Amino acid sequence: MLNVLLALSCLAVTFASAPFVVTVTNGTLANGVHVGTLTSQLQRNVIDKLFPPVTRTDWASVSLVDSKLLRYLVLEGDYTADTPLTLPSLFVLKLKGSLHDDASFSKCSANGAHFAGMVMLNGSVFSAVVGGKFNATVHSATQAMAISVVNGQRNSIRDVRAVGGQGWTGGGGTGGGVKDVFSAIGITGGTHNEVKGCDVGGTPGR
């Protein structure tokens, strides 16, 4: 079995040396094509379109996961979440800026769902979120974590500032019960996932 420290050592690799890097600056690719600043646009126009799909066979026989296998998305500037941004396996999201909830996030199907997040690693393996500010509290109707890991393996959340959104507990769910605050970063299920060097929680909206 791979040691988790070996698996996560890939995060120390310089991004410039990575074989597959896509950089988006204020919603625009390096070639001048505008891909958008909403998470639904980034999912459709960047992650799903520009990054080849992977399966477990891509790392099954590998003893060390490094930059030769990882794919990198660098987001520079400020972005808004109207739907969860779902990260695949062997994927590193590096945020040089901020991501906060859009007013329309409360209308998406994920809002209020179990371990919903503006950024989600759902079943992902060997993926990471590095840097940036993630604020899921700009709009009071948002019911989501800033970042969530669900049934993932060997994922890492590092050096981020994260604030969780509002939610409801008890008394029949949304529209009743006791108002609560979602975790800023949540992990459920899976194995060998880590949160390191992060500044989380605090007053909603900050």
Residue 181, beta-bridge partner list:
166
Quick one: which of 175, 48, 45, 39 has its CA closest to 108?
Answer: 39
State how far the Cα of 101 lies from the Cα of 137, in Å rounded to an integer: 7
Read off φ and ψ for residue 82, nearest 5 degrees. Answer: -100, -20
Please write the tens of the pLDDT for every residue from 40-88: 999 999 999 999 999 988 888 877 787 778 999 999 999 999 999 999 9
Give 65-80 as a DSSP string: --TTT-EEEEEEEEEE
Q: Tens place of pLDDT for every residue, the chain, 206 residues? A: 333 333 344 333 333 344 699 999 999 999 999 999 999 999 999 999 999 999 988 888 877 787 778 999 999 999 999 999 999 999 999 999 999 999 999 999 999 888 899 999 999 999 999 999 999 999 989 999 999 999 999 999 999 999 986 665 544 444 444 455 568 999 999 999 999 999 987 665 55
Contact call for residues 178 and 169 (beta carbons, < 8 A): yes
Which H or E run includes 4?
helix 4-8
Quick one: which of 131, 118, 113 has its CA closest to 87?
Answer: 118
Which H or E run includes 95?
strand 91-101
Ramachandran category for residue 46: left, alpha or beta (phi over 0 → left; psi -120 to 50 → alpha): alpha
State how far the Cα of 74 lies from the Cα of 15, in Å rounded to an integer: 9
